[in-house]
Amino acid sequence: SKSRASPSDVPQASESNMEESVSWDSKLTDMDSHLGAWEVGMLTWSPSTWIAQAQVSETRMAKAQAWETLALARITLQPKPSVTELATVTTLEQESSELVNRMSRESSEGYPPRQLWASKVEYMLAIMSYLLMPSGVLRFASGWVHKGSCSFFIAYILMLLGIGIPLLFLEMAVGQRAQQSSADMWKNLSPWFGGVGYSMVMVCFITNTYLNVFNSWILFYMSHIFYFVVPWDQCPLQRNSSNFDPECEQATSYTYFWYRKTLKASDRIEDGGQPSFSLGMSLFLSFCLICAFLVNGIKSIGKVLFVLLLVPYSIIVCFLIRTLSMDGAEYGLKHLLILKVASISDLTIWCHAGIQVLFDIGLGFGPIVSLASHVPDFNNCMADAFLMALFKIITLLMTTPFLLSILGFWATTTTHHCCKKNQETLLRLVAQGILPPDAQPPDLSGNPTSNYNSWLSSLPPPLRSAVLSVVPECSVQKQFLKIKDNPRFLFLIFTEVISLLPGSGFWIVLFFLLLLTLGLCSNLMFMLGNVLTLQDTFPFCRRQPRLLIVCVSMAMFLCGLIFIQPSGIYYFSLLSECWVAVPVIIIIICENLAVAWAYGADRFLADMVALLGRPIFSGCGWLWCYISPMVVLGLLTSVFVYLVKGPLVYFAWDSSTVSVLSHILKLLP
């Protein structure tokens, strides 16, 4: 296997020129010996022979002088190492010495050595698992619908090429070059950015904590899917009565089960309460699964990830095949081909696409640096960055048609029910004399939505206004545009959609299994990133890796209890939708400046060339120095503008009106 490149191997051109000069010196020495032999033998030769030999001698002397001139020119003109090469040699020699000293010191103190990935495939599976966050998939589909369809996708691809791939390569290269993921690793690049590593640890810890709450919701729903009738499909009966719960009847069974049975949500964020016992058990089970998968560290995680990655993609293919044949799927799929040229110039779309890119590839959280530090330092991380970006695009192009087609089916079916319900209401009002006979709707057999809306548009304006004052408007487009990028949408809408499918019991199992495997994949990598960082920061943690995993999991579990109390969903929403973006983007800016300006982009790339043994695209340094800092700083500015332009609003369940109302968050008493 290829070992760490020696710093003396950098100026290879100079060594080859020296070898050429030595070969020319040997040739000149041989020529001198031939000339000496010729001087001894010429005394016994005849004059004619002497003249002939003299002419030969002049020719040889001319050639010898030419050879000598050429040899001196080669020796004089051989290139000297540049300042960058000398800096690279010095840096790599120093870091190699520090690495050897650190390993020797840890070995003498009895600490186990750092584990490496068993193969390149397992390392790539780990990065792929880290990129699979369910919220990112839903957020991309929502952005496609609300931010210009193909225009948003074009902006996303350009942002991925301009800042996503270069910064992903930067994080991979930093971890691979340092061969460690300790919290103070960034001090080696610049003392001014020593806090970047500690910030990553905190953000990764908090993010993993509330993402596991998402898994607890999934496990809670999965604990009810084996009932003959799933509880979210119908309202519960009142105690000692045959009547349904009035609160559930006023809302929907899906909304009631989500807010009242799953979350036990309070009316306001200020209203606290005890954590939910059922969600607490689900949260504990989620951390137990993660501990079980990580019990042997990175040695065995590759086999687990292979299964966890195979399951969701198989389910996505099954759902995609099934949803393409459903009624209304074509309405959702046509949004894939809509190109709004005017929206390309909209700065909001570019900001949304840029933030989407940063979160889709998981920059700024730390696991990428930690995972990359456990591969050999000569690994081609540039190719890995491009490959992972391609994997992310393929994943989004697989999941987006599935989501849009199933949402098209939901919008069409819901609108059909809306039209039929309006028909019943109007017939009753006409029979009671509240509306005139002209307000009686026609027969809606065949295509209810088309027949109803055609009849409604043909009414005189005053009568149409009277009809719309007593019944809601039924529109497929407005229903389809209700897609949101928050987890509430998954549990409210998708459970309703799947209940409408034939064989809904089978599909609901697949749906929650899909969500669970996606959630576990990303959570495993967040947890592994925290554990590996702690092991490198405090080497004594390697002596008891299983105990470390249990302790970190227990700490996250205790912190996660905040999110499963009655007001926990509101903290979850504010944290995931508003607050986490600011520190993550600041960390990305700091790590970019640390490499590109504090350490030097050219110097860093020269280090990587020496380690990889192959050239690197020189434009990376230009992108790191100018493009990515300015673009990411612009994204940070857009986030600040969004946060300060108006009050923070969260949506809460109001039990008095049996509806979801928006509330303004008061940051100050």
Asked whether the beta carbons of 348 and 103 are under 8 A apart, the reply is no
For residue 214, pLDDT over 60 is answered with yes
Two tokens, residue 532: 């590996």
Q: Which fold has domain 114-414+483-600+613-664?
A: Amino acid/polyamine transporter I (1.20.1740)
Helices (H) and strands (E) in the chain, counts: 28, 2
Least confident of 5-9, 176-180, 236-240: 5-9
- Model pLDDT for residues 61-107, shown as the tens digit of each residue: 665 565 556 555 554 444 444 554 545 555 555 555 555 555 565 55
Two tokens, residue 202: 């905190």
- Mind giving me the DSSP string for 549-571? HHHHHHHHHHHHGGGGSTTHHHH
Express the helix, strand and coil content of the chain in percent, nearest 5 each. Answer: 75, 0, 25
Question: Which pLDDT score, from 0 to 100, does residue 502 have?
Answer: 84
Question: Which pLDDT score, from 0 to 100, does residue 632 have?
Answer: 97
Question: Which pLDDT score, from 0 to 100, does residue 613 have?
Answer: 86
**Cα radius of gyration (the chain):** 34
Measure the CA–CA gap between 23 and 102, rounded to whole angstroms. Answer: 43
Question: Which pLDDT score, from 0 to 100, does residue 444 have?
Answer: 84
Strand, helix or coil for residue 382: helix
Two tokens, residue 273: 């309460």
- Model pLDDT for residues 230-286, shown as the tens digit of each residue: 899 888 887 777 788 888 878 888 988 999 899 998 888 888 789 999 999 999 999
Q: Which of 502, 436, 491, 434 is nearest to 463 (CA)?
A: 436
Strand, helix or coil for residue 246: helix
Strand, helix or coil for residue 339: strand
Residue 37, number of CB atoms within 10 A of its CB: 10
Percentage of residues of the chain with pLDDT beyond 90: 46
Q: Tell how far CA 583 is from the center of its chain.
A: 16
Ligand-binding site membership of 518 (annotated) = yes
For residue 590, pLDDT over 80 is answered with yes
Question: Which pLDDT score, from 0 to 100, does residue 116 have?
Answer: 85
Measure the CA–CA gap between 169 and 151, rounded to whole angstroms. Answer: 26
232 forms beta bridges with: none
The ranges assigned to domains in the chain are: 7-89, 114-414+483-600+613-664
Quickly state the pLDDT bin for 135 (edges 50, 70, 90).
confident
Strand, helix or coil for residue 200: helix
β strands within 319-444, DSSP E: none
For residue 152, pLDDT over 90 is answered with yes
Ligand-binding site membership of 522 (annotated) = yes
Question: Which pLDDT score, from 0 to 100, does residue 32 have?
Answer: 46
Quickly state the pLDDT bin for 357 (edges 50, 70, 90).
very high
Whole-angstrom distance between the N-terminal and C-terminal Cα of the chain? 63
- Model pLDDT for residues 278-332, shown as the tens digit of each residue: 999 999 999 999 999 998 888 888 889 999 999 999 999 999 899 888 888 999 8
Quickly state the pLDDT bin for 39 (edges 50, 70, 90).
very low
Residue 520, number of CB atoms within 10 A of its CB: 24
- Model pLDDT for residues 511-532, shown as the tens digit of each residue: 999 999 999 999 999 999 999 9
In this structure, what DSSP letter does residue 154 have? H
pTM listed for this prediction: 0.82
Q: Which of 157, 46, 193 is nearest to 597 (CA)?
A: 193
Percentage of residues of the chain with pLDDT beyond 70: 81
Mean pLDDT, rounded, for 177-193:
86
Question: Which pLDDT score, from 0 to 100, does residue 581 have?
Answer: 92
Mean pLDDT, rounded, for 624-645:
94
237 forms beta bridges with: 244
Mean pLDDT, rounded, for 593-620:
91
For residue 30, pLDDT over 80 is answered with no
β-strand pairing of 659-664 with 649-654: antiparallel
- Whole-number mean pLDDT of the chain? 83
Question: Which pLDDT score, from 0 to 100, does residue 649 have?
Answer: 77
Measure the CA–CA gap between 473 and 487, rounded to whole angstroms. Answer: 27
Inter-CA distances, 216 with 195, 210, 508, Å: 32, 10, 17
For residue 653, pLDDT over 80 is answered with no
Mean pLDDT, rounded, for 351-374:
95
Q: Note every long-range contact of 626-630, with CB atoms under 8 Å and residues 24 or more positions apart, other chains counting.
A: 627/162, 627/163, 627/166, 628/162, 628/163, 628/166, 628/167, 628/592, 628/596, 629/589, 629/592, 629/593, 629/596
Inter-CA distances, 604 with 220, 386, 596, 612, 621, Å: 48, 19, 8, 12, 9
Residue 668, number of CB atoms within 10 A of its CB: 3
Q: Which residues contact 596 (CB under 8 A, 6 or more apart)?
A: 604, 621, 624, 625, 628, 629
Question: Which pLDDT score, from 0 to 100, does residue 326 have?
Answer: 87
Reading phi first (left if > 0) and then psi (alpha if -120 to 50, else beta), residue 273 is in left
Question: Which pLDDT score, from 0 to 100, does residue 577 have?
Answer: 83
Quickly state the pLDDT bin for 133 (edges 50, 70, 90).
confident
Quickly state the pLDDT bin for 1 (edges 50, 70, 90).
very low
Question: Which pLDDT score, from 0 to 100, does residue 268 have?
Answer: 84
Quickly state the pLDDT bin for 400 (edges 50, 70, 90).
very high
654 forms beta bridges with: 659
For residue 594, pLDDT over 90 is answered with yes
Measure the CA–CA gap between 212 and 220, rounded to whole angstroms. Answer: 12
